[in-house]
Structure 1
Amino acid sequence: MIDMIAALQPLLVGAVLLWSARLKLFSRHATATAHRSGLVVLLGERRALPAYRVLGAVELTLGAALLLPPTLRMEAVAVTTLAAGFLAYLGYTRRVAPTASCGCLSAQPTPVSGRSLLRAGLLVAAGALAATTTTGWFAALADRPVAGGLVLLAEAAAVVGLSPELDATWLLPLRRLRARLTHPLRGGSGVPLLATVQQLQLSDAYRRVAALLRSDVREHWDADGWRFAAYAARYQGRTATAVFAVPLADPEPEAVRVAVVDDTTGQTLLSLAGTTPPTDGRLTVVPA
């Protein structure tokens, strides 16, 4: 298995290098990207763009060499050295110019982060692993297409996941999709959480315990026509949870009630009832 993984690394690293070279050599944003990168600090404003172009040419050459047969060990060694240089450059940039852009895989202005360093480390490891094999990636993939495809897919996902400059391509759309599907500001009733919070903040129960609260809403759930909202609280030196009960069908603040519960013992330390009791006649609270 390890032999197959090693044989596939030239394909992964070669594809990453060609993608990076595309930005440096052919993107219309290359000049702006170079001037936002750490190369300005390292080499100066005038030399940043030429160095950026030269680096792109090196990436293009090595990337193409890795993808084209035969696979030579010297190619893998050269790529490992280049990736190690990337890692050192990113570490230097993060230390001396924390706001400078990486300029690696996208024109998106993104400062160097821990994810960027981990990605460079992954490429160093992939290049070193590729140097241990002489089997071509095409032969390895043809011999075990399913396993090889899964390995490449996992590694490609790791590279993308460790590239903050690519977040706008996949992470933000996923977050928007999740928001559309889960409606994070709504409970099961369809009543926005914000409306519930506004109602309870206008209540006498909230005003009477506001000085005890130590957080915003930490948890909320709907049950039997009520929405329960839990806040961190402190009561007479004890760590506690304040649980508000807000009727979903009654918008009046006077109907809100609250219980303050000791987090350690589960004992109800304070209970303030509204004008309308819950349907079962009691308020059940669970310590956070």
Structure 2
Amino acid sequence: MIDLIAALQTLVLGAVLIWSARVKLFSRRAAAAANRSALVRLLGQDRALPAYRLLGGVELTLGGLLLLPPVLRIEAVAATVLAVGFLGYLTYARRAAPASSCGCLSARAAPVSGRSLARAGLLVTAGALAGLATGGWLPALAGRPVAGAAVLLAELAAVVALSPELDSAWLLPLRRLRARLTHPLRGGSGVPLLATVQQLQLSDAYRQVAPLLRSDVREHWDDGEWRFVGHAARYQGRLVTAVFAVPLIDREPDAVRVAVVDDATGHTLLSLAGTPPAAGPRLSVVPA
């Protein structure tokens, strides 16, 4: 099985590199993507776009070589080196320019996150495995089509799941489907979501963070005597989620609390508590 997996890595790497090159070379939003990336901080405004295009050319060339016969070990080594470079760049971007966008597999703005780093690590592993291959991906796939297809689907699904910039293609449709299937106007507690929204919109916590909000209710869930309601928001230039905690028993708006959570890091940037009910979690003010 390890021989099959190793042989298929050139196909995975080639497909990912060509897809990434497509964004950098042919997208109409490539210039905007380059300007949002950490390349601006690393190389300067004038060099960011040429470097972005050059990287796309390298990815397209190497991706094509990986997909086409003959199988050369040097191609797997080059792919591994490139993946290590991606990992180093993303680590730098997350630390030195946390507001920058990855610009990897889509021109859509998406901050560098732990998922982006995990994807780069997956590509490094794929490159190392490709170096162990003794044959090409086409004979391996033809010899064991069912197992090969399963491996490919699993790896490509992992790449997509670890790519925040691709969420709009699969994650948001899944959320919409869940909303249609679960009838979000009524929560599991039997309290209508509309009643919860009305309560939180009358609260002081909502009034304080309302200028930050960028969406209607995106998700909600019940936990014990509390209902948590999430809104997309922007705080100090960061993409965040405003999570409101609304008691299901206490109907007073002053009992509503809110926490502003950074989407990229998961850290709580701001927490505001109203007048607490008799029981439940307490949120204290945390300076940003």
The answer to whether TM tops 0.5 is: yes
Counterpart residue number, 1:202:
none
Change (3 A) 1:189 1:135: same
| Local SS of the residue matching 1:112 | coil
Counterpart residue number, 1:62:
62
Q: Distance in 1 between matches of 2:221 and 2:190?
A: 18
Change (3 A) 1:18 1:194: same
2:25–2:53 contact (8 Å) kept in structure 1: yes
Quote the offset at 1:183 in angstroms: 1.3
Counterpart residue number, 1:146:
146
Quote the offset at 1:70 in angstroms: 1.2
Change (3 A) 1:97 1:135: same
Counterpart residue number, 2:158:
158
Segments ≥4 residues shifted beyond 3 Å: 187-191, 193-199, 216-220, 242-246
Counterpart residue number, 2:109:
109
Deviations 1:218-256 (A, max 9, x none): 447xxxxxxxxx359xxxxxxxxx98599xxxxxxxxxx
The alignment's TM-score, normalised by the length of structure 2, stands at 0.69
In the TM superposition, 1:9-88 aligns within 5 A as 9-88=9-88
1:15–1:63 contact (8 Å) kept in structure 2: yes
Amino acid at match of 1:22: R
Change (3 A) 1:183 1:48: same
Counterpart residue number, 2:128:
128
Counterpart residue number, 1:192:
192
Q: Distance in 2 between matches of 1:59 and 1:197?
A: 48
Counterpart residue number, 1:96:
96
Quote the offset at 1:217 in angstroms: 8.5
Deviations 1:191-228 (A, max 9, x none): 724337979xxxxxxxxxxxxxxxx99447xxxxxxxx
Quote the offset at 1:71 in angstroms: 1.3
Q: Distance in 1 between matches of 2:183 and 2:93?
A: 40
Identity, % of aligned positions: 71
Structure 2, unaligned runs of 5 or more: 200-219, 228-246, 252-277, 280-288
2:102–2:111 contact (8 Å) kept in structure 1: yes
Amino acid at match of 1:80: T
Structure 1, unaligned runs of 5 or more: 200-215, 221-229, 233-241, 247-259, 262-288
The alignment's TM-score, normalised by the length of structure 1, stands at 0.69
Aligned residue pair count:
215
Amino acid at match of 1:139: P
